[in-house]
Amino acid sequence: MSGILAVLEAGQKISLETLAAARDLGAKLQLPVHVVEPDRNYTADDYTDSLAQLIREKSFDLILFPHTYQVRDFAPKLATRFDRALISDVIRLRVEGAKLFATRQLFQGKLNAELEPIGKPIFLSLQAGAYAPAEAQAPTETLPAAGTSRQKPEERYREAQRAVDLSAAPIIVSVGRGIKEKENLSLIEDLAAVLGAEIAASRPICDNGWLPMERQVGSSGQTVTPKLYLAIGLSGAIQHLVGMKGSKTIVAINKDPNAPIFEVADYGICDDLFDVVPALTAAIKAAKS
C-alpha cells in the first residue's frame, strides 16, 4: 500500500471536502495522504498526462477527486489510462477492515448503489456534501506540466450580466418537468405572484425554452439560499439539489413519493400539482386578505 492521492481544484469549496475524505480514509486505511492542486491553465490532455506520470511514479492505490465539471472532463480519461473505471459522484464512503465501499446515485437520485472496487488503483470522485470540508488547506505537491495538449482553450467568460439575481430572493417558487406544458406555467406564475416570489426552474424547463436560462437553479445554474424554496413537480436530481439545498425551508409538491426532492424537503405534499397549486394559490390569497 503506497498511499492516497487527493487531486484538488483551486478555488472550489468541494476540494476541501475531498481533502477531508482523503484524510479520513488515510486514517482508517493507515495510508499516507498526498495532495496535488495543479495551478495552471487547464486542459484535459495536460492534466491527464502529468497526473498519470505522478500516479505511476508513486504507485498510489487510491486517487480521490472532487466531482467538478473539470474533473468530469479528465478523470475518466486518466482512469482509463490505468485500465480502470472511475467511480464517479460518490455520496458516501464506508471502510470495513481494509475494504472500501462507495455509494453513488442511480436514476437521478431515485435509487442508490453501493459499489466495491475490484483491483487497484481505485479512482473515485466525490459529490458535493459527501464530507464536511477540511478546516485547513494541505501543503500541496507541485505537478510538472506535461507540456503538450491538443485542446486549445480560450479565456473563460461569463455571458451578459444576469437580469435576474435569484441568490437574493427571499422566496422562490421553482418548477420542474411535472408541469408538463409551457402553458401550465401560468399556475406557477399565479402562485409566485401571491407569495411575492421569484420563479426558478430545473434545467429541462430552461432547455425547452419555457423559461430563460437565467432562472435555472443547480450546478449549471444559480445557487440560491432563500427563506422558502417551494419545489413544484421537481424530482430533485443531484444537479438541482446542489443549487438549492442551502435554502432555509424547502417545501416539495410532487406526486411521486420516492422523488429525491423529498430527501431534502422540510415539508412535502405527495399529490398532483395540478390539484394542489391552484388550491394553494387561492388559500394563500385568502390568508393574506
Partner 1 sequence: MKILVAIKQVPARDSQLIASTDGKWVDESSLEYEINEPDAYALEEALQLKESAGGGEVIAVCAGPDRASSTIREALAKGADRAIHIEVEDIANWDTLSVAKLLAAAAKAESPDLVLTGLQSDDVGAGQVGVVLAELLGLPHATIIMEVVIDGATVRVKRELEDGWFQHVSMPLPAVLTIQSGIKKLRYATLMGIKRAKTKEVKSLSPADLGVANTPSYQVVSVMLPQKSKQTVMLHTVAELVDKLKNEVRVI
| Positions 127 through 156 that interact with partner 1 (CB under 8 A) | 150-156
135 CB-near residues (< 8 Å, 6+ apart): none
Q: Which is nearer to partner 1, 114 or 141 (CB)?
A: 114
Interface with partner 1 (CB under 8 A), residue from 87, 175, 199, 217? 87
- Separation CA 43–CA 90 (nearest Å): 24
Contact (Cβ atoms closer than 8 angstroms) between residue 264 and residue 250: yes
Per-position x/- string for 168-197, each x denoting binding to partner 1 as judged by CB under 8 A, each - no binding: --xx-----x-----------------x--
- Separation CA 284–CA 194 (nearest Å): 7
Contact (Cβ atoms closer than 8 angstroms) between residue 8 and residue 36: yes
Residue 128 buriedness (CB in 10 A; 0-12 / 13-18 / 19+): buried
Q: Which is nearer to partner 1, 136 or 287 (CB)?
A: 287
Interface with partner 1 (CB under 8 A), residue from 54, 86, 138, 187? 86
Task: Decide: is 225 part of the binding site for partner 1 (CB under 8 A).
Answer: no
Kindly report the number of other CB atoms within 10 A of residue 242's CB atom. 18
Task: Decide: is 256 part of the binding site for partner 1 (CB under 8 A).
Answer: yes
Q: How far is the CB of 21 from partner 1 (least distance, A)?
A: 17
| DSSP-assigned letters across all residues of 35-100 | EE---S---HHHHHHHHHHHHHHHT-SEEEEE--HHHHHHHHHHHHHTT---EEEEEEEEEETTEE
Interface with partner 1 (CB under 8 A), residue from 53, 59, 80, 137? 80
- Per rule CB under 8 A, count of chain residues that contact partner 1: 89
Q: Within 233-252, which residues bind partner 1 (CB under 8 A)?
A: 248-249, 251-252
Per-position x/- string for 4-43, each x denoting binding to partner 1 as judged by CB under 8 A, each - no binding: ----------------------------------------
Q: Which is nearer to partner 1, 139 or 288 (CB)?
A: 288
